[in-house]
Structure 1
Amino acid sequence: FHDDQHGTAIIASAGFINAIEISKKKIEDVKVVFSGAGAASIACAKLFFQMGVKPENLMMTDSRGVIYKGREAGLNKYKEDFANDTDCRTLADAMKGADAFIGCS
């Protein structure tokens, strides 16, 4: 257990579950955007997948914008796991139609 990663993921997921219940949305239909693609964001995203968020409905961004398939700049093996097939390139693009926003490192 790494508290900076897993502790953040647990707290973020608790808030996320509450927001989904209040909004009466299905978790598999919710679009989630992450600002930050460090260890904490990756741990949160992995937990969100286990909770039922579809990979195609989760967009992750870093200092260079959206992490998308085919992007070469600034990626590592951890970020590549979250690359989506999308035309979005900026955080603003990714936020269009988003249901949840998670900001962490």
Structure 2
Amino acid sequence: MTPVRTVLAMRTREGCEQRFEAEWLAVAEKIRTLDGCLRQELVRDVDDPRNYLIMSDWADRERLDAFGRSEHRDHLLRVIRDLRESAERHTYQIVHSVRTESEEP
């Protein structure tokens, strides 16, 4: 199994930033319990607070794709879709990951 990271660049509709963040967090809490989901992050552009990156790491492409095709995903993300102006997704294979000294056990 090779871990993968999906990166979704998203721009919210004007005035929807706070609600988008709250809705994303509620959805992320549910997705984190799914088999294969390793990590999720929401980051906001410091120069344009309507631009976000949603990053999630999955144990392998198969489990990510299974989630991506599920009705469960459609249900969870319905509200978030209504709050966005645009979205673009890419999936990457994690080749190397280097921890800082403070992160090491």
TM-score, scaled relative to structure 1 = 0.28
Greater Rg by CA: 2
Whose helix fraction is larger, Structure 1's or Structure 2's?
1
TM (norm. structure 2) is 0.28
Higher relative contact order (CA 8 A, sep 6+): 2
Greater strand share, structure number = 2
